[in-house]
């Protein structure tokens, strides 16, 4: 069996939206399927209370990079995206591609969410600073142990009940499907924002009566509609 790697890291919440949050430390081991879940739902390993964050916003894993060296990766799952500020680029954050595992480094800052309402400033996001404490070869497992639990993450009882989808292979068809879904989500958000009758005092049921005959309304599923409404109308 190939040598396995292990990483220990801390995530601290910064920015006005993350004030007062206690930093959390995690440990991940390669070859186990371990991950750290980030999002607004209580069952996540790291809970972000920003209204613009998705219930299950992103995941962190220890995976090999292009050269085969194991390092921390992020997979964005969200509606409003996840941004990145690096030590070398603090002024112009970039946005992670959705549902693609991408490497991150010690000192990187994750911006949750990337997309904000026009009235909000960059500091209104939750900033998640990643600090790596230790990284290297993992100690041998006990004989007969096939895999271990999610060391350092939230206890199993606190994990989301529904398993997250398996990693995609990045094929053209998967990417096309993701682009189409993202386009539909953005069109739905634009529909909400451009409809004058939909405002902060509008209920979801009222919005549905107004807009359900529009093809854009039916182009996304119910969960996406409710999440988009909550973020862009109730927020």
Domain boundaries, the chain: 6-133, 176-234
In this prediction, residue 35 carries a pLDDT of 93
Provide CATH code, domain 176-234: 1.10.10
10 Å CB burial of residue 213 (0-12, 13-18, 19+) is exposed
Answer yes or no: are the C-beta atoms of 153 and 25 closer than 8 Å. no
In this prediction, residue 154 carries a pLDDT of 37
- What confidence score (pLDDT) does residue 146 get? 53
The CB density around residue 25, as the number of other CB atoms within 10 Å, is 12
| Residues facing residue 61 across a β-bridge | 73
* Right CATH for 6-133 from 2.60.40.1220, 2.60.200.20, 3.30.360.10, 3.40.190.10: 2.60.200.20
Is pTM beyond 0.75? Reply is no
pLDDT on residue 171:
53
Q: Which helix (H) or strand (E) holds 161?
A: none
Tens-binned pLDDT, residue by residue, of the chain (235 aa): 457 899 999 999 987 666 678 899 999 998 888 899 999 888 899 999 888 888 889 999 999 988 889 999 999 999 889 999 997 877 788 999 999 999 999 999 999 999 887 666 666 789 999 999 988 887 777 665 555 444 344 333 333 333 343 444 455 565 667 678 778 888 888 888 888 888 878 899 999 999 999 999 999 888 888 887 877 776 5
How far, CA to CA in Å, does 165 sit from each of 46, 56, 75, 176, 229? 19, 12, 11, 17, 24
């Amino acid at each position: 069996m190939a040598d396995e790697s292990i990483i220990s890291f801390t995530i601290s919440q910064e920015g006005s939206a993350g004030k007062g949050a206690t930093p959390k430390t995690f440990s991940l081991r390669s070859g186990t399927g371990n991950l750290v879940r980030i999002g607004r739902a209580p069952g996540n390993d790291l809970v972000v209370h920003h209204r613009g964050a998705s219930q299950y916003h992103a995941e962190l894993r220890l995976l090999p990079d292009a050269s085969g060296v194991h390092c921390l990766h992020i997979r964005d799952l969200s509606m409003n995206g996840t941004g990145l500020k690096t030590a070398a680029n603090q002024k112009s954050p970039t946005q992670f591609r959705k549902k693609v595992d991408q490497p991150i480094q010690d000192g990187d800052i994750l911006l949750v969410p990337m997309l904000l309402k026009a009235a909000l400033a960059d500091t209104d996001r939750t900033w998640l600073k990643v600090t790596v404490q230790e990284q290297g070869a993992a100690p041998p497992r006990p004989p007969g142990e096939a895999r271990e639990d999610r060391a350092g993450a939230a206890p199993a009882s606190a994990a989301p009940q529904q398993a997250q989808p398996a990693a995609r292979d990045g094929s053209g068809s998967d990417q096309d499907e993701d682009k189409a879904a993202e386009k539909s989500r953005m069109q739905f958000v634009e529909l909400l924002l451009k409809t004058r009758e939909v405002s902060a005092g509008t209920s979801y049921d009222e919005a549905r009566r107004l807009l359900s005959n529009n093809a854009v309304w039916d182009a996304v599923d119910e969960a996406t509609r409710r999440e988009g409404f909550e973020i862009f109308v109730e927020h």
